[in-house]
Every structure is written in C-alpha cells, then in structure tokens.
C-alpha cells in the first residue's frame, strides 16, 4: 500500500507539485518495499523457529526411555551436568532484523564501513541479540525435561556480562549447567543455571550469566 498525494487537475502542474508528487510516490514505494521485507523476514524467523523446534523434538525423542520419571530423579540427573547446543551462525540478516525489531540501528550493527572506521573488523551483533539466542540454544541443548511439566517460564537473569563482541558471520553456541533446583511452591520448581555463549575459535565467551527458570507441574 502506497501513499498518494492528491493534486489539483491541471494540464501542467507546477514544479512544486511535481516534486511533491514524486516524493510522495517514492515514499509510497519505500513503504511498500519495507512491508514486503518485514513479511519476508517474519517468514524466515518462523521457519527458523520450526527448525529449532524440530531439532529439540528429535533430542527429546532420543531421550526416550531414559527420561526421568520423578522430580527427584530429574534433579539428580540434571544438576551439575553440562549441556551444549549446536552452533548458530549470526549473520548480517539476523543482526539487521533484530535492529529493525528493537529499533536499535546503531551503526556498529548495520553499517560495516562506519563500524570499520570505529575500529571494528566488521559489524557486530547486539549484546541483547546474543542474549536472546540463549533461549533457542537452550532448547536445542537437550536438557532433560521436568516430568509432568505443564509450563516453563523465564524467571530472569543475574549478573549478565558481555565479554566479547560477536561479529557478523561468527558462529556461537550455548553452554548450560544447572546449579540448583528448588521447590519454590508446591508443584513449582525454580532452576538456576550457569550459562555462557561460546564464539567459535575464541577463548573468551561472548557473555556469561546466571539464568533462572520456573517449572510448573
């Protein structure tokens, strides 16, 4: 859908009207293109979510008969045992999409030339993008499910630290170790995880955090 500027019907519109009409047409075309790009990006994100869910379902199926039967068994088998996700490529399309959604168009994320002038090798991912990718990475890591689970909720993060930049094209993966699971209320369990995001080929992680989750059974 474009914007149309209505002008008076004259055989020879003046230069101001001509420029205004051309400008309105350009805005309309840009707006329409933006809408199309947004829809295509949404489809890509949905497709990525489906792929992530398929991978998570396969991991759950691989657990099979080894799935814990009781909460006590689950706690004993989860606490202290590390889990690692598959690699995820953080490309420029993902970074730009995150910038559009959050309206954080800082040049370090979307302008390679300006980022290079600022001393970066190339554009970098938002720290919050890397942080948000921990959700699908955790799902992909194959952590054993809580028996009788009805709902899982993100309870928050403690002591988040961004230690190294993630450049466009880098591959990252999540490392998760459950440190504690306590029954906060009857049928509700709070989990504390030690989490970090590794950058392929680098010793320093992109971030480290303590992650809290709630499970309702």
Q: What is the pLDDT of residues 125-143, one digit of tens each?
A: 999 999 999 999 999 998 8
Say what percent of the chain tops pLDDT 90.
Answer: 57
C-alpha 168: how far from chain center = 14
Say if 107 falls within a structural domain: no
**Is residue 111, in this structure, part of any structural domain at all?**
no
Residues 20 and 84 in one domain: no
For residues 62 and 171, the model is more confident at: 171
Q: What is the torsion angle, in degrees rounded to the nearest 10, for the CA atoms of residue 146, residue 150, residue 155 and residue 161?
A: 50
pTM of the model: 0.70
Over residues 50-65, the pLDDT tens digits come to 665 665 565 555 555 6
Which residues on neighbouring strands pair with residue 212, listed in sequence order? 156, 192
| Cβ neighbourhood burial of 117 (10 Å; 0-12, 13-18, 19+) | exposed
Q: Classify residue 204 by its DSSP letter.
A: S
At 172, list the tokens: 């990252």
Q: Are 51 and 82 members of one domain?
A: no
Q: How confident is the model at residue 147 (pLDDT cuts 50, 70, 90)?
A: confident
Pair 158, 178 in one domain: yes
Residue 33 has pLDDT above 50, yes or no: yes
The answer as to whether 197 is a domain residue is: yes
Domain, as residue range, for 51: 15-62
State whether 142 and 196 are in the same domain: yes
Identify whether residues 77 and 35 lie together within a single domain: no
Mean pLDDT, residues 117-132 taken together: 96
> In the block, which residue shows the tokens 């020879």?
12
Angle at 89 between CA 87 and CA 92, to 5 degrees: 165
The answer to whether residue 53 sits within a structural domain is: yes
Same domain flag for 81 and 180 = yes
Listed in order, strand segments (DSSP E) in 14-150 are 82-84, 88-90
One domain, residues 20 and 49: yes
Total residues found in the chain within this entry? 217
113 within domain boundaries: no
Report which of 183, 182, 206, 180 is spatially closest to residue 193, judged by C-alpha positions. Answer: 180
For 186-215, the pLDDT digits (tens) are 989 999 999 999 999 999 999 999 999 999
Do 143 and 195 belong together in one domain? yes
Provide the sign of the torsion angle of the four alpha carbons 38, 44, 45, 50, taken in this order.
positive
pLDDT at 150 over 80: yes
Evaluate whether residue 82 is within a structural domain: yes
Is 106 part of any domain?
A: no
| Average pLDDT of the chain to the nearest whole number | 83
Percent of the chain surpassing pLDDT 70: 70
Please tell me the distance from the alpha carbon of residue 54 to that of residue 46, in angstroms, as a whole number.
12
Buried b (16+ CB within 10 A) or exposed e, 31-59: eeeeeeeeeebeeeeeeeeeebeebbeeb
Q: What is the CATH number of the domain that holds 174?
A: 3.10.129.10
Number of domains composing the chain:
2
Q: Do 148 and 55 share a structural domain?
A: no
Q: Which residue has the higher pLDDT, 68 or 187?
A: 187
Shared domain check, 179 and 143: yes
More confident residue, 204 or 30: 204
pLDDT at 30 over 60: no
């Amino acid at each position: 859908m474009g914007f149309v500027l209505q002008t008076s019907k004259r055989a020879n519109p003046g230069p101001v009207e001509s420029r205004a009409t051309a400008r309105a047409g350009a805005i309309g075309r840009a707006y329409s293109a933006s809408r199309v790009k947004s829809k295509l990006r949404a489809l890509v994100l949905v497709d990525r979510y489906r792929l992530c869910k398929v991978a998570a379902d396969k991991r759950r199926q691989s657990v099979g008969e080894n799935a814990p039967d009781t909460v006590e068994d689950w706690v004993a088998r989860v606490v202290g045992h590390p889990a690692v996700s598959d690699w995820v490529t953080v490309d420029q399309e993902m970074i730009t999409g995150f910038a559009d959604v959050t309206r954080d168009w800082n040049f370090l994320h979307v302008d390679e030339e300006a980022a290079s002038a600022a001393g970066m090798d190339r554009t970098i991912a938002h720290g919050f993008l890397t942080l948000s990718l921990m959700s699908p990475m955790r799902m992909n890591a194959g952590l054993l499910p809580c028996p009788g689970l009805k709902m899982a909720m993100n309870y928050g993060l403690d002591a988040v630290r961004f230690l190294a930049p993630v450049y466009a094209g880098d591959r990252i993966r999540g490392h998760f170790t459950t440190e504690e699971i306590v029954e906060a209320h009857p049928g509700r369990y709070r989990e504390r995880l030690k989490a970090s995001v590794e950058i392929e080929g680098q010793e320093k992680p992109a971030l480290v955090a303590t992650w809290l989750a709630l499970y309702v059974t």
